[in-house]
Amino acid sequence: MQTSLTARSFTERAGHAVAFELIAVAICAPALAWVMDRPLAHVGALTAMFSAVAMLWNMAFNALFDRAQARIGFERRIGIRMLHAVLFELGLIVLLVPLAAWWLEISLLEALLLDIGLILFFLPYTLGFNWIYDILRERYVRQNARAVRG
């Protein structure tokens, strides 16, 4: 059974995913362009494509994760948060490596190595973003519950 602390609407999921991706693109596009010595527009287009795929994956994965939490009843402590981040990133590897290889005209191995570099950024970013989001969301939900009760 989902509580107000775990139940999330489609609108909330979309907002969560958009915020996550906008911050990530703002960090990654210029960094990748610099590291790869490629034009920002070319790498920026790739990061926008990555972002679109990742947003859809983010929403689907988090919905499944919330269902698992409601069904099993675990708390989101550090171990679960680390598992969440790792599983999320593994799914993205499967989705994004072929796209990077095609767009950058590199081998799948080179694209995988690029993705591993991105994972080194995204694992702690995913963990930190979701942890902060959950803390702020819980405060918001509790404040609204108090306001409704009077």
Nearest to 57 by CA among 16, 109, 28, 27: 16
Radius of gyration, alpha carbons of the chain: 17
- Residue 67: domain span: 10-149
Kindly tell me the sign of the dihedral angle through the C-alpha atoms of 108, 113, 114, 116.
positive
Does residue 2 lie in a domain region?
no
Does residue 1 lie in a domain region?
no
Tell me the whole-structure pTM to 2 decimals: 0.68
Does residue 5 lie in a domain region?
no
User: Considering its fold, how many domains does the chain have in total?
Assistant: 1
Which tens digits make up the pLDDT trace of 89-126?
A: 889 899 999 999 999 999 999 999 998 888 889 889 98
Does residue 16 lie in a domain region?
yes
What six digits make up the tokens of 35? 């590291």
Does residue 139 lie in a domain region?
yes
For tokens 């499967």, the residue is 94
